[in-house]
Amino acid sequence: MTEQQRDAGEGAPADDGGAPKVTEGTVEALVRAQLAKALGGKRGMVEAAVPTLTFTLSYVISSELRLSIYAGVAAALLLGVVRLVQRSSVQYVITSLLGIGIAALFAMRSGNAADAFLPGIYYNAVYAVVLSISVLVRWPAIGLMIGPFIGHKEDFTSWRADPAVVKLASRLTWLLVLPCVIRVLVQYPLWLADHNGWADTFALLGFSKVAMGWPLQVAAFAAMVWVLARGRTPLAADRAEHPRED
- Taking only the tens place, the pLDDT of each residue in 100-125 is 889 999 999 988 889 999 999 999 99
Whole-number Å distance between alpha carbons of 16 and 30: 23
Whole-number Å distance between alpha carbons of 113 and 202: 8
Query: pLDDT band at residue 238, thresholds of 50, 70 and 90?
Result: very low
pLDDT for 12 equals 37
Q: Is the Cβ–Cβ distance between 76 and 50 less than 8 Å?
A: yes
For 133, residues 6+ apart whose C-beta sits below 8 A from its C-beta are none
Q: Is the pLDDT score of 187 beyond 90?
A: yes
Query: pLDDT band at residue 181, thresholds of 50, 70 and 90?
Result: very high
Whole-number Å distance between alpha carbons of 55 and 71: 6
Q: Is the pLDDT score of 185 beyond 90?
A: yes
Q: In the chain, where are the structural domains located?
A: 19-241
Whole-number Å distance between alpha carbons of 195 and 192: 5
pLDDT for 132 equals 96
- CB atoms inside a 10 Å sphere around CB 31: 27
Whole-number Å distance between alpha carbons of 165 and 167: 5
Distances 201 to 4, 21, 168, 177, 207 between C-alpha atoms, Å = 44, 47, 39, 25, 10
- Taking only the tens place, the pLDDT of each residue in 130-176 is 999 999 998 998 888 766 665 545 566 777 887 888 888 899 899 99
Q: Is the Cβ–Cβ distance between 179 and 216 less than 8 Å?
A: yes
Query: pLDDT band at residue 240, thresholds of 50, 70 and 90?
Result: very low
Handedness of CA 66, 69, 74, 80 (dihedral sign): negative
pLDDT for 142 equals 84
Whole-number Å distance between alpha carbons of 83 and 224: 29
Whole-number Å distance between alpha carbons of 208 and 235: 40
Q: What is the three-class DSSP state of 234?
A: strand
For 112, residues 6+ apart whose C-beta sits below 8 A from its C-beta are 194, 195
- Taking only the tens place, the pLDDT of each residue in 13-68 is 344 444 334 344 565 666 666 666 655 566 777 777 788 888 989 988 988 999 99
pLDDT for 29 equals 65
